[in-house]
């Protein structure tokens, strides 16, 4: 099989789309998404990006819901290795490419690293306007009034936006963007990140990007706090850490236990490396 599965023309088209996306932070660039040997909705967009940018020297980490051992992550990692032969790691610091579904790792990313996020909904406006032509006009005119009104309505009724993951952000003070279903907890990590963050939506056929050191702010009222998820005083039952994003697990006896969601972070904490 060809290195990285895709033919060279496909890789070229995808790379060009990525370059355009980096040139216009937060703007969704359409691309001719190919069918991959995993189903649409399981990360084909992220996979196409990874396979287009990977070269022999890259070391890859794949996580899903923060976990390297999660089924989706295992599947994708196995597939990438089977078509590239590249090294893999669970260590966030050692990876050059990190493909992730729904989380940004707890450990800070560095220059030279690339985070590839899997995107179910590239269009941040999908909750307020379903017609794709009207969406395009809104982006072109920086007309995000509907997002703001939705925020106003939620704030008036519930005190805060009802949006939990996929919280809309404004990139480089221009485009409103869907950050993928990462929790609010991860939104601050997007701002001024040293790494390159790429977003791939296979089914919806869009690629977008946040270049390193870009300003990314959640869409919120000036006088309201951006509330992120907290787990109060809950400690990880495995490594004892507090204050990170946690998994709530129901045991067979009905009790509830909490664990660090980022498993490689938890491993390092346990070993005393952090």
List active site positions.
26, 236, 239, 260, 266
- In sequence order, which residues have a C-beta less than 8 Å from that of residue 234 and are 6 or more positions away? 242, 246, 258
For residues 77 and 264, the answer to whether their CB atoms sit within 8 Å is no
Q: Name the site residues for another protein (rule: CB under 8 A).
A: 36-39, 65, 71-72, 75, 79, 120-121, 123, 126-131, 137, 140-143, 145-146, 148-150, 152-153, 155-158, 162, 166, 181, 221-224, 247-252, 254, 259
- Comparison of 222 and 232: residue with beta carbon closer to another protein: 222
What are the angstrom distances between the C-alpha of 267 and each of 72, 122, 257? 20, 32, 17
- Comparison of 49 and 138: residue with beta carbon closer to another protein: 138
Q: Cα–Cα distance between 160 and 190 in angstroms, integer?
A: 21
What are the angstrom distances between the C-alpha of 173 and each of 63, 89, 127, 214, 219? 30, 35, 21, 10, 10
CA-based R_g, the chain, Å: 19
- Comparison of 96 and 185: residue with beta carbon closer to another protein: 185
Shortest Cβ 37–another protein spacing (Å)? 4
Q: Cα–Cα distance between 115 and 100 in angstroms, integer?
A: 7
Query: What would the two tokens of residue 238 be?
Result: 């495995």
DSSP state of 47: H
Shortest Cβ 75–another protein spacing (Å)? 5
Closest CA to 82 of 40, 120, 54, 63: 54
């Amino acid at each position: 099989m060809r290195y990285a599965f895709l033919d060279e023309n496909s890789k070229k088209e995808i790379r060009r789309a990525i370059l355009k996306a980096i040139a216009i932070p937060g703007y969704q660039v359409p691309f001719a998404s190919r069918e991959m040997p995993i189903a649409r909705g399981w990360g084909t967009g992220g996979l196409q990006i990874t396979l287009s940018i990977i070269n022999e020297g890259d070391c890859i980490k794949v996580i899903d819901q923060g976990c390297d051992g999660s089924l989706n992550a295992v599947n994708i990692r196995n597939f990438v290795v089977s078509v590239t032969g590249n090294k893999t790691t669970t260590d966030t610091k050692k990876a050059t490419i990190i493909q992730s579904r729904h989380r940004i790792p707890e450990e800070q990313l560095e220059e030279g690293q690339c985070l590839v996020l899997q995107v179910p909904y590239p269009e941040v406006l999908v909750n307020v306007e379903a017609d794709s032509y009207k969406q395009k006009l809104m982006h072109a005119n920086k007309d995000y009034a509907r997002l703001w009104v939705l925020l106003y309505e939620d704030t008036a009724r519930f005190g805060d936006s009802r949006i939990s993951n996929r919280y809309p952000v404004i990139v480089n003070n221009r485009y409103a963007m869907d950050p993928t279903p990462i929790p609010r907890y991860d939104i601050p990590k997007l701002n001024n990140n040293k790494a390159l963050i790429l977003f791939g939506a296979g089914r919806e056929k869009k690629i977008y990007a946040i270049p390193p050191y870009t300003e990314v702010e959640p869409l919120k009222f000036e006088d309201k706090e951006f509330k992120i998820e907290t787990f109060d005083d809950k400690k990880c039952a495995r490594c004892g850490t507090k204050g990170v994003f946690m998994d709530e697990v129901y045991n067979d006896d009905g009790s509830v236990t909490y664990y660090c969601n980022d498993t490689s972070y938890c491993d390092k904490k346990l070993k005393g490396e952090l």
